[in-house]
């Protein structure tokens, strides 16, 4: 972490100013040290150049088991992340997300929430942005660093361990913010996260989010086709799902707490956070999302036609409500 980055950061618990104490510095990078809140007195270590800004008190303690499972899930997922998402459906989804990123005209200081191995963060760095990349998983952050170094982009990327609903960023310092591929599906206090996101953006700033949809069209059609009454009752009764990771060589199962959104719920929560301009669209409206490796990345046959139709209908209700993912572009005006 570069020393000047401390001026952008805030206490994830109370939002107070953080004071930097350096224990080991090399080439203008703080490798070891501590950030201490002048408000609540909480202290957060910096280890191996990465600030560990996870909250120590408040409502997060009640959901501690959720955060521990989310962290364990993605730590375990990191070695197979690229293989699991190497398929035509995810490749198409990523291309749509990239196009939506360009709609925001990325510039200045940007925040990548739930950065994973760094795909979006590196794209933003290549576009000339100064990127704060946060993730709850240290394994993912280390992989993002490795990829940034391989591309010569480490000077434009700051890695921070933090949670999406306890953003350690001061008010009014961000030009853009991104939380793609379901980051807020795993944040119990997502409404607080949205309020922090709104506060952290400058006037005229924009945020781009995508989350798993509770009412995705392909799920419901498959349920009706199979007449799966048990699944239907569970989906109608709760918006929380537990996604299970199974992998060879992994002891036990990793279950991921997942809050599913509807399009109108996401829009309402963003507006309640302060955003007045919110646009909602659908991703993978007519095709199933896959989590398995395929050697090819191009859509074929009917799925190519489905993608062409989706491009026309993405932002048009009711199709904008029915994708596997909901994508929202929100501006602070």
The backbone torsions φ and ψ at residue 303, rounded to the nearest 5 degrees and listed phi first, read -70, -30
pLDDT for 150-168, tens place per residue?
Answer: 999 999 999 999 999 999 9
pLDDT in tens, 171-228: 999 999 999 999 999 999 999 999 999 999 999 999 999 999 999 999 888 887 777 7
In whole angstroms, give the CA distance from residue 221 to residue 37: 51
Crossing angle for the helix pair 217-226 and 229-237, to the nearest 10 degrees: 140
Same domain for 214 and 127, yes or no, is yes
Identify whether residues 2 and 129 lie together within a single domain.
no
- Distance CA(5)–CA(7), nearest Å, equals 5
Determine how many CB atoms are found less than 10 A away from the CB of residue 165.
26
In angstroms, the Cα distances linking 149 to 79, 142, 161, 243 are 18, 11, 18, 32
pTM assigned to the model? 0.94
45 and 58 assigned to the same domain: no
Same domain (yes/no): 157, 69:
yes
Question: Are 64 and 196 members of one domain?
Answer: yes
- Beta strand ranges found along the chain (DSSP E): 18-26, 29-37, 43-47, 50-51, 109-113, 130-135, 157-161, 174-179, 201-212, 240-245, 254-259, 277-283, 325-331
Q: Are residues 240 and 202 in the same domain?
A: yes
Q: What is the β-pairing status of strands 109-113 and 130-135?
A: parallel
How do 174-179 and 109-113 pair as beta strands?
parallel
Whether the per-residue pLDDT at 249 is higher than 50: the answer is no
Span 81-102, pLDDT tens digits: 888 899 999 999 999 999 999 9
Looking at 31, 49, 67, the residue that finishes a domain is 49
């Amino acid at each position: 972490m570069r020393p000047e980055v401390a001026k952008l950061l805030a206490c994830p618990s109370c939002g107070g100013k953080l004071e930097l104490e350096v224990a080991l510095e090399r080439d203008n990078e703080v490798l070891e040290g501590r950030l201490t809140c002048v408000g609540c007195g909480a202290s957060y270590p910096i280890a191996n150049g990465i600030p560990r800004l996870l909250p120590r008190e408040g409502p997060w303690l009640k959901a501690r088991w959720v955060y521990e499972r989310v962290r364990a899930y993605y730590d375990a997922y990191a070695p197979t992340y690229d293989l699991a998402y190497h398929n035509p459906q995810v490749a198409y989804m990523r291309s749509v997300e990239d196009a939506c990123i360009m709609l925001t005209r990325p510039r200045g200081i940007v925040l990548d929430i739930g950065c994973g191995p760094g795909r979006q963060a590196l794209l933003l760095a290549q576009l000339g942005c100064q990127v704060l990349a946060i993730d709850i998983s240290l394994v993912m952050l280390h992989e993002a660093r490795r990829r940034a170094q391989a591309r010569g982009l480490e000077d434009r990327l700051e890695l921070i361990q933090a949670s999406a609903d306890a953003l350690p960023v001061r008010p009014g310092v961000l030009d853009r913010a991104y939380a793609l591929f379901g980051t807020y599906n795993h944040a119990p206090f997502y409404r607080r996260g949205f309020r922090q996101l709104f506060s952290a953006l400058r006037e005229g700033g924009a945020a781009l989010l995508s989350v798993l949809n509770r009412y995705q069209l392909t799920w419901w059609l498959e349920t009706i086709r199979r007449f799966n009454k048990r699944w239907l009752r569970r989906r109608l009764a709760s918006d929380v799902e537990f996604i299970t990771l199974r992998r060879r060589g992994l002891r036990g199962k990793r279950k991921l707490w997942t809050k599913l959104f509807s399009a109108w719920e996401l829009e309402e929560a963003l507006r309640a956070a302060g955003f007045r301009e919110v646009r909602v669209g659908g991703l993978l409206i007519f095709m199933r999302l896959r989590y398995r490796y395929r050697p090819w990345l191009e859509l074929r046959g009917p799925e190519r036609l489905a993608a062409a139709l989706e491009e026309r209908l993405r932002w048009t209700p009711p199709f904008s409500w029915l994708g596997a993912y909901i994508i929202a572009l929100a501006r602070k005006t």
